[in-house]
Every structure is written in structure tokens, then in C-alpha cells.
């Protein structure tokens, strides 16, 4: 006599399908849908795509990389004092510059972005020297007077360069790294802070915004 072979509740007979097959006791066996991992991946990727899209939108609507204005507690306030001896042995006082725009530029010769921005500062100074409506004063940040003198002799720039040997000017402006520049209005009020290497167009744009020009 041939004995019946019980293949177990999970076995499939010849007529059974690979999906939704029935067991000997009538309990349905449902295999995992091989498409589910793909669906999960789609749902995981969707939020990532949304976040990336938002980042792109923010970058597209933000200021250009060349526009380096930054926030500062000094904006809207009277500019802190910049008084001291220049690399030429003269004295400088920011208050004596009232009536024209002044770019207070903190720099060092060992700072690569400072060296890169220097020709732009020279161009800005030359442009505005014609009418005398704007000038520059540089403040030495952790550098030697010999290095600064040699740098200006080699690269030009005829504006005052103030020594800050005790760091008091940098502290008053909250400078922790260079380059940093502050645009001071003819009234003596700080109207903009620019970080990183600036271009002449950055400074002109900041003046235009401050005066309400288009």
C-alpha cells in the first residue's frame, strides 16, 4: 500500500501558485511581494529629494557667493574708535573722516584672502579718490610692521594702515579672524559688515544699498 506523504502546511501541490497558495489545513500562505523593497526605497528617497529641492531653492534665492555681507551688533551703531599710529609713523583718528564713507579693513599679510582682496581695495580707493567721497583705513591684525610695510610697498595702496599692537581695536569691533571689513557712513554709523575677501563691486553695492540707490 502506498502511504500518503505529508509535505507539511507550507508545501504547494502541482496546481498551487507561487502567490496565495493554500496549505493542507486551509490556512492561506502569502509570500512576500518582491516589489515592496522598491516601494520602501521610493518612500525613503522622496523626503530626501524634497529636502534637496528646498536647499537648491534657498541657494538660488540667497545672495550670491560674492555678496559677503554679514550680521553684526555694530550695524546701526556709532563706529567704535579707530585711533593709533600708522606704519608710516603718522596718527589716525576715524572721527576725523566724518563726511565720507570709510571702509575699516582688518587684515594680515599672512592671510591669503587678504592678499587676494588687496587689488580690489586698491581699485576702490583709486575710483573714489577722484571725488573724495570714500576712503579706506586698514587695521593690522596680528602681524609685524616690517611685513606690512613690505607688502604695501610691493602691492600698492596709499591709505592709512593703523597698528593694533594690543588688539584693542580688533576687540572693539569683535574681530576674530581676517579679512573683515566694516563700512562706516559719513555720519559715523556702521552700515555693513563684510567677511572674507571683498571685491570693489561688493563695497560699491553696500554703499548703494545704504544710500537707497538702485
Q: Decide if pLDDT at 158 tops 80.
A: yes
Residue among 78, 81, 82 at smallest CA distance from 162: 82
Q: Is the confidence at residue 25, as pLDDT, over 80?
A: no
Average pLDDT score, the chain: 78
Q: What are φ and ψ of residue 132, in 5° steps? A: 70, 25
> Model-level pTM?
0.68
Contact 68, 113 (CB under 8 A): no
Say whether pLDDT at 54 is over 80: no
Looking at residue 210, what is its pLDDT?
A: 95
pLDDT at res. 71 = 73
Task: Convert the pLDDT of each residue in 86-122 to its tens digit.
Answer: 999 999 999 999 999 999 999 999 999 999 999 999 9
Q: Which three cell numbers stand for residue 89?
A: 609713523
152, 114 contact by CB (below 8 A)? no
Query: At residue 20, does pLDDT exceed 80?
Result: no
Residues 6 or more apart from 147 whose CB is under 8 A from it?
109, 110
DSSP per position, 113-148: HHHHHHHHHHHHHHHHHTTTSEEEEEEE-S--HHHH
Q: What is the mean pLDDT of residues 38-60?
A: 42
Residue with cell 550670491: 64
69-211 CATH: 3.40.30.10
> Which pLDDT does position 69 carry in this prediction?
59
Give the domain ranges of the chain. 21-61, 69-211
Residue 21's contacts (CB-CB under 8 Å, 6 or more residues apart) are 12, 28, 29, 31
Q: Would the pLDDT of 46 be above 50?
A: no
Least confident of 45-59, 71-85, 122-136: 45-59
Cα 132 to Cα 128: distance, rounded to the nearest angstrom: 6
pLDDT of residue 34: 42
Q: In this predicted structure, which of 15-19, 83-87, 140-144, 152-156 has the lowest mean pLDDT?
A: 15-19
Spatial contact of 104 and 173, defined as CB atoms under 8 Å apart: yes
Residue 5 pLDDT exceeds 70? no
**For residue 48, what are the contacts with CB-CB under 8 A and spacing of at least 6?**
none
Residue 35 confidence class, pLDDT cut points 50, 70, 90: very low
Cα 87–chain centre separation: 31
- For the chain, what percent of residues have pLDDT higher than 90? 64
Amino acid at each position: 500500500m502506498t502511504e500518503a506523504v505529508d509535505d507539511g502546511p507550507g508545501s504547494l501541490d502541482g496546481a498551487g501558485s507561487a502567490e496565495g497558495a493554500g496549505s493542507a489545513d486551509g490556512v492561506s500562505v502569502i509570500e512576500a511581494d518582491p516589489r515592496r523593497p522598491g516601494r520602501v526605497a521610493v518612500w525613503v528617497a522622496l523626503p530626501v529629494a524634497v529636502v534637496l529641492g528646498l536647499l537648491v531653492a534657498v541657494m538660488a534665492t540667497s545672495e550670491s557667493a560674492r555678496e559677503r555681507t554679514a550680521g553684526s551688533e555694530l550695524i546701526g551703531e556709532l563706529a567704535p574708535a579707530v585711533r593709533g599710529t600708522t606704519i608710516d609713523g603718522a596718527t589716525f583718528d576715524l572721527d576725523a573722516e566724518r563726511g565720507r564713507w570709510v571702509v575699516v579693513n582688518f587684515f594680515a599679510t599672512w592671510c591669503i584672502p587678504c592678499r587676494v582682496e588687496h587689488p580690489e581695495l586698491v581699485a576702490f580707493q583709486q575710483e573714489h579718490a577722484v571725488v573724495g567721497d570714500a576712503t579706506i583705513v586698514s587695521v593690522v591684525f596680528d602681524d609685524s610692521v616690517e611685513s606690512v610695510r613690505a607688502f604695501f610697498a610691493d602691492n600698492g595702496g596709499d591709505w592709512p594702515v593703523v597698528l593694533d599692537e594690543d588688539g584693542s581695536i580688533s576687540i572693539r569691533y569683535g574681530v576674530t579672524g581676517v579679512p573683515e571689513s566694516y563700512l562706516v557712513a559719513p555720519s559715523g554709523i556702521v552700515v555693513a559688515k563684510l567677511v572674507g575677501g571683498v571685491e570693489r563691486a561688493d563695497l560699491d553695492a553696500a554703499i548703494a544699498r545704504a544710500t537707497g540707490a538702485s
